[in-house]
Structure 1
């Protein structure tokens, strides 16, 4: 479940950065159309990968329930962090991407 949580948070952060307003606020520069599309694709890919991680860990019945739980938890964390600690939200996404191979190794 940790792997799904890490991938979901990183996916939501990528989807957040694909919006021009959040991209300008967090990275202090304008985003190109190509970068926005790449971030959007990466975000959806990470969300799909998190679904696979949750289902492979617990099967379809409990895996989907776990996946929806980590979806809500990571979205809540991102929504609460963005207004108050935007740089920390971005750093947490980077840490979650770096920690996901370790979580994948631990899940096997």
Structure 2
């Protein structure tokens, strides 16, 4: 379930960075349109991949319920951090982008 949370948060932050306003505020410069499209695609892919670790560990029924809770919690955390600690929100997303897929790979081997 923790891997699902990491993937959800990274997906939401990627979608957030795909918006011109947020990208300029967080990164400090305007993004080219190709980068914004890439961030959108990455965000959608991460969110589509996020339910599988939860469902693999808990089964379809309980895994889907836990994934919905993790989805809401990660979105809530990002929305709460963005106005107060935007750099922390961005740094946490960087950690999630690395740790989420690594956790998913480790879970599939173990």
Q: Kindly state the Cα deviation for residue 53 of structure 1 after the two structures are TM-superposed.
A: 1.6
Which stretches of structure 1, 4 residues or more, deviate above 4 A after TM superposition? none
- Quote the residue 2:94 is aligned against: 94
- Quote the residue 1:45 is aligned against: 45
Q: Kindly state the Cα deviation for residue 98 of structure 1 after the two structures are TM-superposed.
A: 2.1
- Quote the residue 2:17 is aligned against: 17
In structure 2, distance between residues paired with 1:40 and 1:34: 10
- Quote the residue 1:55 is aligned against: 55
- Structure 1 residue runs of 5 or longer lacking an equivalent are none
- Structure 2 residue runs of 5 or longer lacking an equivalent are none
Q: Kindly state the Cα deviation for residue 20 of structure 1 after the two structures are TM-superposed.
A: 0.5
In structure 2, distance between residues paired with 1:49 and 1:43: 10
Measured at CA, do residues 34 and 102 of structure 1 come closer, stay the same or move farther in structure 2, by a change above 3 Å?
closer
In structure 1, distance between residues paired with 2:99 and 2:35: 24
For these two proteins, the number of residue pairs brought into alignment is 108
SS at structure 2 position matched to 1:29 = coil
Q: Kindly state the Cα deviation for residue 47 of structure 1 after the two structures are TM-superposed.
A: 0.5
Instruction: Compute the RMSD of aligned alpha carbons.
Output: 1.3
TM-score, normalised relative to structure 2? 0.91
